[in-house]
Amino acid sequence: MPTSKVLATLRDGIFLALNAVPAIHDYLAEGRLKPQPRYKKGFMYFDGSRESKVLTGMMLPNLK
């Protein structure tokens, strides 16, 4: 957090300009800046196949 009013205004201006671009706005709004979490242990057990190794440790979406 900048303590200078000039730096704060510059920061706000940069983000205002970035939010004007739809692709960048969506990227910032959806929080894609941080990497997806991976877990070593969990509820599901996989058998060691290639497909299982790809899914191991990934968060799976909740379906309605």
Confirm if 40 and 57 have CB atoms less than 8 A apart: yes
Identify whether 41 is part of a domain: yes
Q: How many domains is the chain partitioned into structurally?
A: 1
Is 61 inside a domain boundary? no
pLDDT of residue 12: 93
Contact (Cβ atoms closer than 8 angstroms) between residue 35 and residue 18: no
Residue 37 lies in a domain: yes
Host domain of residue 29: 5-55
Query: Do the beta carbons of residue 39 and residue 46 sit within 8 Å?
Result: no
**Cα→Cα distances 63→1, 19, 60, Å:** 38, 30, 9
Would you say residue 27 lies in a domain?
yes
**What's residue 14's pLDDT?**
93
Mean pLDDT, residues 21-38 taken together: 78
Is residue 39 domain-resident? yes
Residue 49 lies in a domain: yes
Q: Is the pLDDT of residue 3 over 70?
A: yes
Tell me the whole-structure pTM to 2 decimals: 0.45
Q: Which residue has the higher pLDDT, 52 or 43?
A: 52
